[in-house]
Amino acid sequence: MVRTLLTLFMLGLPCALVHAAEPTIRALDIRGVRIGGATTLTIDGDDLGKTPRLLLPFAVKQALRPGNTDKKAVFDVFTLTGDVEPGYYHLRVVTEGGVSLPVVIGVDELMQQTTTAPVTTLPVAIHATVAGSSTVEAKFAGKAKQKVTVEIEAQRFGSKLRPIVHLYNAQKRQLAWAWSTPSLYGDCRIQATLPQDGEYLVTVHDAEYAAPAPSFYRLRIGEWSYADQVFPPAVSKESPTFVELIGSPAKPASAAYAQRKSGATPILWPKAGLRSGPRPFVHVNAYPEIVEQSAKDKPQDLPQGVVAISGKLLTANEEDRYRIAVKPLSKVRLEVFAERLGSPIDAALVVRNEKGDQLSRAEDSPGTLDPVLEYGVPDKVTSIIVGVVDAQGRGGPRGIYRLVVEPLGAARDYKLTTNLQRALLPVGGRAVVPVFVERRGFLGKIDLSPSLPSGIKANGLTIPEGADGTLVVLERSESLFDALITQWRGKSADGEERTVAIKGHPMERVQPWLAEEIALAPSAARAEDFVIDWANLPTDVALIPGSKLVLPIKTARANPKTSVKLTLLTSQVTPIVNNQPDANKALRQEKAVELPMSKNDGEVVVLTPPELSAPSYDVTVQAELLDAGKKTLAVAYAPVRRMAVRLPLVVKLDGPTRIETLLHAKTGATIKLAGKVERIPGVKADVAIALTGLPAGAKADPVTVKAEASDFVVNVSLPPTVPAGDIKGIKLFGSFAPEPKTPAVRVKSREVEIEFVVKAAAK
């Protein structure tokens, strides 16, 4: 078997990515690191190996204490440079088996300790875990008239704790308490002035006294500078590089941010004072970002096209109004960001006419208190007034909002995502990184540029025009490299850049750049120990909607006492139906496939949905090497194939698609559309011909082309009420049911766009 593996490798059989027990972090006693000081971290996990080390995105000295095991490791971390900006960061563990998934830690100048150690100085960060119905306590000494902040960081770190915090004096009299708040992303904060010298008690428990695992938290006590909000929260590329920080101290401070072409950009903390908490950031956008100009007597005019404006509701029952130029009978999308920016207001949208009369109103939208409204502009209306209010009539210096105005069809934007957070590259091996694109009016190609170490080559770095994404293949040579954190960016033909983000990452709102980190790690294993390849798969294989595609594969493995699980991977974004992904409309595996230890060849059957929107998709098969306990020992990938979509049905129109007709005042007009249907071999089904986009009152005869026929004629009747002129947007297509038992599931041809030129007949 080993000789066979080596032979396959020497003959050029594509090498595979091999995972060898990637490490896992189950628990971390201290989820923080002190800038300029020493911190001892104890990690509980699995597959930590003999010589694990920490991977952090900044310079640090670390020492592994003696006596570590595969399940536990203790590190001394110290001498962080003063250039590290306080904030939230990812911590990972690197071993010979790869790199772990990250955990979030807080990095600042606070003393970091557990609840078992007494609090000797403030400010301090205390790390602990709440179990079930228990309450955790921490004591500290305070002075009369001393101002203290007591803040829990739990949900911002990925904990499931629903925190409630109490502050008591030495006599157990409650001075203050707080619970989860949206402005702190589910965490809570107390701000108090201590009444007298003495000992004070802080307690933490779950809101329902049933803390779900994991329920860790970081409790900070003392005084420090923090920023809850940034104003304006978004800027354009040409904006000045200074914004306003709102938090503590109460007086807003100006702060600079680094120039960036697009996306969430971290802000540099002011150097004065002790800083702690999540790092503030601003969004940089290509379209105009305007700041509200206070004018209570008249609405503020906004420029045409996609535009955003940031403002504040400073007083109770205040309404900020904006005049927007619109086109009659068009639609405009209006969206407010407030709760999602940490603002305490419950924003509402009001659409008014020039007289001030309310025409429409919107409040909450799915998943947020922020409103979204698609407003249909009436005929002959060229401007509307859009108002932003607080639904509960509140106002204040933190009542920040951002209104985005987008005429439907005007947006030309896209977002890049992946579902992969880490990849392992053995010697001579490969990794496959899926990158997907969410398109908002932009259909062009996108070129990717990952930041990779030397010795790593990438293929498949272009997302084709109209495609859902790509499967990027990373290939490692014999060279060595250190585990690192990479960032991937994509650029469109017009120069617009976007960063690839981990889809659904929990830090996407709190510290968005953490959702852009993809970790790469080397492995000492060699790829030829586990190999997968296609078994005589034709080079011109295509995806045919409504059919099944058989993918034959062959494997070779050095360890014969293993099984192999096969999983389909594609570059398709699962279509959304009723705000939920619908797997039935996606390329999917017919059934689970696992090759027993005695079998090396197999096949994956792909069910192709009736509709595929992109012209092509990348396809591969992932193979997992499993031991007797079904633990994954290694992962390999078949070579990625970019497969074109081949429609089983084509509808062609005889003659031009621009058709002239005379309209009679009494009888209207009749247009005959003659054409042919072409079926690929193997398709023998009746084809229904249909038209969409006909004007009001027009009718088209239903036509069915029998399985043995190809020609058709559709008679279209136009009523006399149809106005003379060009009628665009008419589309002709055919469809058939691939399975007679499910006639409602139909495969469609591509649409043929038709234009009628209607001329009035002479009287």
Does residue 431 share a domain with residue 395?
Answer: no
Does residue 501 share a domain with residue 545?
Answer: yes
CA 298 to chain CA centroid, nearest Å: 39
| pLDDT for the residue 578 | 84
Does residue 190 share a domain with residue 43?
Answer: no
Does residue 125 share a domain with residue 84?
Answer: no
**What type of residue is 667?**
T
Measure the CA–CA gap between 154 and 161, rounded to whole angstroms.
6
Closest CA to 674 of 728, 752, 748: 752
Pick from 96, 123, 141: which residue ends a domain?
Answer: 96
| pLDDT for the residue 526 | 80
Pick from 69, 96, 123: which residue ends a domain?
Answer: 96
Number of domains in the chain: 5
| pLDDT for the residue 350 | 97
- pLDDT digit string, tens, across residues 454-469: 889 999 999 999 999 9
In a domain, 678, yes or no: yes
Measure the CA–CA gap between 33 and 36, rounded to whole angstroms.
9
In a domain, 639, yes or no: yes
If pLDDT is split at 50, 70 and 90, which confidence band does 6 have? very low
Is 2 a residue whose pLDDT tops 50? no
Does residue 549 share a domain with residue 475?
Answer: yes
- pLDDT digit string, tens, across residues 557-592: 988 899 999 999 999 999 988 888 899 999 999 999
Does residue 660 share a domain with residue 594?
Answer: no
How many Cβ atoms are within 10 Å of 501's Cβ, its own excluded?
A: 23
| pLDDT for the residue 273 | 85
| pLDDT for the residue 763 | 64
- pLDDT digit string, tens, across residues 152-207: 999 999 999 999 999 999 999 999 999 999 889 999 999 999 999 999 999 999 99
Percentage of the chain beyond pLDDT 70 is 97
- pLDDT digit string, tens, across residues 87-98: 999 999 999 889
- pLDDT digit string, tens, across residues 106-151: 999 999 999 988 999 999 999 999 999 999 999 999 999 999 999 9
Q: Which letter does DSSP use for residue 268 in this model? A: P
| pLDDT for the residue 622 | 96
Residue 19 in tokens: 């995972």
Pick from 207, 222, 237: which residue ends a domain?
Answer: 222
Measure the CA–CA gap between 723 and 218, rounded to whole angstroms.
70
The CATH number given to whatever domain includes residue 530 is 2.60.40.10
| pLDDT for the residue 297 | 78
In a domain, 8, yes or no: no
| pLDDT for the residue 286 | 87
Closest CA to 520 of 103, 162, 98, 42: 98
In a domain, 243, yes or no: yes
CB 667 within 8 A of CB 718: no
Does residue 233 share a domain with residue 382?
Answer: yes
| pLDDT for the residue 742 | 87
- The 3-state secondary structure of 304-369 reads CCCEEEEEECCCCCCEEEEEEECCCCCEEEEEEECHHHCCCCCEEEEEECCCCCEEEEECCECCEC
- The range of the structural domain enclosing residue 84 comes to 24-96
Does residue 653 share a domain with residue 633?
Answer: no
- pLDDT digit string, tens, across residues 542-556: 999 999 999 999 999
The mean predicted confidence, pLDDT, of the chain is: 92
Measure the CA–CA gap between 471 and 418, rounded to whole angstroms.
10
In a domain, 10, yes or no: no
| pLDDT for the residue 15 | 41
- pLDDT digit string, tens, across residues 632-690: 888 899 999 999 999 999 999 999 999 999 999 889 999 999 999 999 998 999 999 99
In a domain, 15, yes or no: no
In a domain, 102, yes or no: no
Residue 533 in tokens: 């390849």
The CATH number given to whatever domain includes residue 368 is 2.60.120.380
Does residue 715 share a domain with residue 570?
Answer: no
For residues 588-599, give the mean pLDDT.
95
| pLDDT for the residue 1 | 36
Residue with tokens 């911002």: 156
| pLDDT for the residue 20 | 52
For residues 483-498, give the mean pLDDT.
93
Lowest mean pLDDT, pick from 145-149, 532-536, 731-735, 757-761:
757-761
pTM of this structure: 0.89
Measure the CA–CA gap between 100 and 94, rounded to whole angstroms.
7
Does residue 330 share a domain with residue 432?
Answer: no
Does residue 270 share a domain with residue 156?
Answer: no
Does residue 393 share a domain with residue 262?
Answer: yes
In a domain, 9, yes or no: no
